Amino acid sequence: MNGGEKILVCPLNWGLGHASRCVPIIHTELEKGNEEVIASDGFPLKFLQQQFPELRTIEFPSYPVKYSKGKSQFWAMLVFLPKLLNGIKQENKRLKQILEQEHFDVVISDNRFGLWNKNVHSVYITHQIMVKMPKILRFLECVGYRLHKYIIEKYNECWIPDFEKNGGLSGDLSHKYPLPKNAKFIGTLSRFTELKKINPNDDFETVVVISGVEPQRTIFENSMIEKYQNQKEKTLIVQGLPSKENHLKTIGNITLLSHLGSKELAAALKGCNKIVCRAGYSTIMDLDALDCLQKAIFYPTPGQTEQEYLAEYHSKK
């Protein structure tokens, strides 16, 4: 973007990943002299308010997704589909209302399908041009790709946070099918890019990073507490629950923290010997930025086909 522009940044509220990868974009646009307003809800909004307390924010509801407690998300996603379609319609309507009340030059949407408008330059960020389907629905992947391509091309630009060559970090998700005509690879996005040389914190043998959509976030947290509470090794578990106060709790050799700032988390990840986490794409970009990807043990969200694919893809690299 050019300097002197007013930008609305809108990450999706499905875990913290979409918000965290907006951090370097916001920094870049601020350095250019642009004015930025953040629009989101839930923990992503709280996270970005902590990262950028000086910026104005707008409460902007996301799609109310909720995962199943089981190993398959198929039925949960099927039930969620009408809510998703209505959510897209409502967020497009909400954007129109905002633009009628206030001028913006650019809207940057991280994986929110409905934030395009003919009266503003719109940018869509996604790392998955095609959506991985469960095995029984694999034959529908091409259909899903075409539907997503149709949505993407409603925007003026599509930014893919990955490298173009050798499959990048996203593999098939952005490299299997032809790109939409408005799409381009922009390189990876991580809030840790400038922290690669930070002094490591070697207080912990293992760092567990909890993330994702409920109830699977809590299920993962509880399973990791059960796994590590009786181990001799010192373990840090970061719950991924940003709040004004950082809550600390000790369980055996586990230190449980609700949230860590970027510098503190980067230092802990650099200093530990083992990282346990979900296989979310933003997490993978963060670990790659810190040269820590080789230390990661991935636990993909059960039934989340994108994460299951990414965990397998990186285990073979």
Q: What are the pLDDT digits (tens) for 119-129?
A: 999 999 999 99
Do 6-185 and 193-312 have matching folds?
Answer: yes
How far apart are alpha carbons 58 and 177 in whole angstroms? Answer: 35
Mean pLDDT of the chain: 93
Domain parsing of the chain, residue ranges: 6-185, 193-312
pLDDT digits (tens, 9 = 90+) for 29-40: 999 999 999 999
| d(C-alpha 91, C-alpha 105), whole Å | 18
pLDDT at 316: 84
Specify the pLDDT at position 68: 66
Let me know: does 173 contact 127? Beta carbons within 8 Å: yes
pLDDT tens string 53-85: 999 999 999 876 667 676 666 666 677 788 888
Give Cα separations from 313 to 23, 189, 286 (angstroms). 26, 19, 17
Q: What are phi and psi of 298, to 5 degrees?
A: -95, 135
- Pairing assessment for the beta strands 296-298 and 274-277 based on DSSP bridges: parallel
Q: How far apart, in whole angstroms, are the C-alpha atoms of residue 173 and residue 145?
A: 10
The band of 137, judged by pLDDT with boundaries at 50, 70 and 90, is: confident
pLDDT at residue 141 in the model: 92
Mean pLDDT of 112-119: 96
> Which of 292, 217, 227, 221 has the alpha carbon at shortest distance from 253?
227
Q: DSSP for 14-79?
A: SSSHHHHTTHHHHHHHHHTT-EEEEEE-HHHHHHHHHH-TTSEEEE---------SSS--HHHHHH
Tokens for 116? 């395009």
CATH fold label, 6-185: Rossmann fold (3.40.50)
Q: What is the greatest pairwise CA distance in the chain? A: 59
Dihedral Cα 121, 126, 127, 133, nearest 10 deg: -140
Q: What is the pLDDT of residue 11?
A: 97
Question: What pLDDT, on the 0 to 100 scale, is given for residue 69?
Answer: 74
Name the residue type at position 116: W
More confident call, 84 vs 268: 268
For the chain, the distance separating the N- and C-terminal CA atoms, rounded to the nearest angstrom, is 35
The pLDDT value given to residue 2: 79
Give the pLDDT band of residue 134 (cuts 50, 70, 90). confident
Please report the pLDDT score of residue 3 as a whole number: 79
Four-residue CA torsion sign, 267, 210, 127, 91: negative
* Contact between 122 and 155 (Cβ < 8 Å): yes
Reply yes or no on domain 193-312 having CATH 3.30.470.20. Answer: no
pLDDT in the model for residue 244: 62
pLDDT of 1: 79
- Model pTM score: 0.92
pLDDT at 308 over 80: yes
Query: Which pLDDT band, with edges at 50, 70 and 90, does 135 fall under?
Result: confident
Pairwise CA distance, residues 157 & 155, whole Å: 5
Weakest mean pLDDT among 136-145, 151-160, 297-306: 136-145
Give Cα separations from 73 to 70, 133, 305 (angstroms): 7, 11, 9
pLDDT of residue 222: 97
Residue 116 scores a pLDDT above 90: yes
The Cα 80–Cα 68 span in angstroms is: 11
- pLDDT mean over 14-21: 92
Q: What angle do CA 82, 88, 92 make, to 5 degrees?
A: 150
